[in-house]
Each structure stands twice: as structure tokens, then as C-alpha cells.
Amino acid sequence: MKGFHMHTETKIGGRRLNETSQENEPLVSIITVVFRASQDLPALLDSVFRLKGNDVELIVVDGGSNDGTTDLLREHDSQIDYWISEADRGIYDAMNKAIRSARGKFLLHLNAGDRLLSIPRRELEEAASSGVEIAAFRVSIDGRYDFRPSHGMELRFNNTLHHQGTFFRRRRFLCMTFGTKYSRISI
């Protein structure tokens, strides 16, 4: 909302704060940006925790919520690799913060209402070793419909890469950021 500002202090947590040394680069950084998501976030976190291993890190950026989201993040401090809660300038600012905090070879963006059903580890390892920059996979929509990403010429005309199934090389984001000028679209 234009003119809406949260006045909150910065709160930071996660397993990473207790590390004494830098771990190896994980295969995937799962990035979740939220604001007032205390109702939807638990189901997403459970779905990630069930599949998470040492090759996957979870980063959560909260926009300074006052609905219990921060309490939920603290409650799962030992399972979330890094989280921060502070006022921001919107979703794209939060996404940029998360990307700067990420360590993984690939980035996967999941929203609080999403659920992680699988991590295509073998395919992502192959993609990493062969220099693939974007890897897109099937997405289940409400358990009723499977969406399969397109490729080639069709991709030029249709937005067919759902964020829940698209893994982006993190190195691509090291020299670029999401634009924060608009609240609903990033250019």
C-alpha cells in the first residue's frame, strides 16, 4: 500500500546464526517472503521440513508482521537456516534481501500458501554440472491439475514457468535485482 509503513525493529534468527564456519554451498535455497502469514506459513514450513536435508537451505524474509509470524519463525529457529523480520518496501525488496542471503546453487521461490511436494535433487545436480541456468518442473495445482512447463517457441508467447517449480541459478542474481518501483510487478 502506498504510504503504509510498518515501524518495527529488526529481528533475525535461524540456524546460520549459530554456525561457527561456513558450510558448503547447498544445492537449493528455498526463499519465502511473507507479511502477516501466521495462518498460512505453518503448512508451508512443514512441507519444506519433511524434504529438507543438508543440501537445502530455507530462508524466510518477513516484512515486519505483527500477527504472530515472528513467533512462528522463532519457534522453528533450529529448522530455518536464516530468517529476518523487518519493515521493507514490498515484496520485491523482500525477495532481493532473501537472494542476497542465499547460498544455494539454485533458488526456489515459494509463497506462504504454497506446498513443497518434492525436490528434484538428481535433476538439479545434473543441471548444475552441465551449466543449466533455469530448470523448470511439473507443478501440482491444488492436487487436481498437473501443470507442465513449456519450452522453446511456446515459452516466448506464454508465461508457462510457475515459480513453485522453477529453479533459477543464484549466480544470475548476483549482478541484478528485482525492481522495487511498483508494488505488483517488477521490471
Give residue 187's pLDDT. 44
Give residue 4's pLDDT. 44
Q: Which has the minimum average pLDDT: 37-41, 121-125, 175-179?
A: 175-179
Give residue 95's pLDDT. 87
Average pLDDT in the 120-132 region?
Answer: 95
What would the pLDDT profile of 53-107 be if each residue is shown by its tens digit? 999 999 999 999 999 999 999 999 999 999 999 998 888 888 889 999 999 999 9
Q: Is the pTM of this model over 0.75?
A: yes
Q: Is the pLDDT at 145 greater than 80, yes or no?
A: no
Give residue 90's pLDDT. 83
Share above pLDDT 90 across residues of the chain, in percent, rounded to a whole number: 53
Instruction: Tell me how crowded residue 120 is: count the other CB atoms within 10 A of its CB.
Output: 15
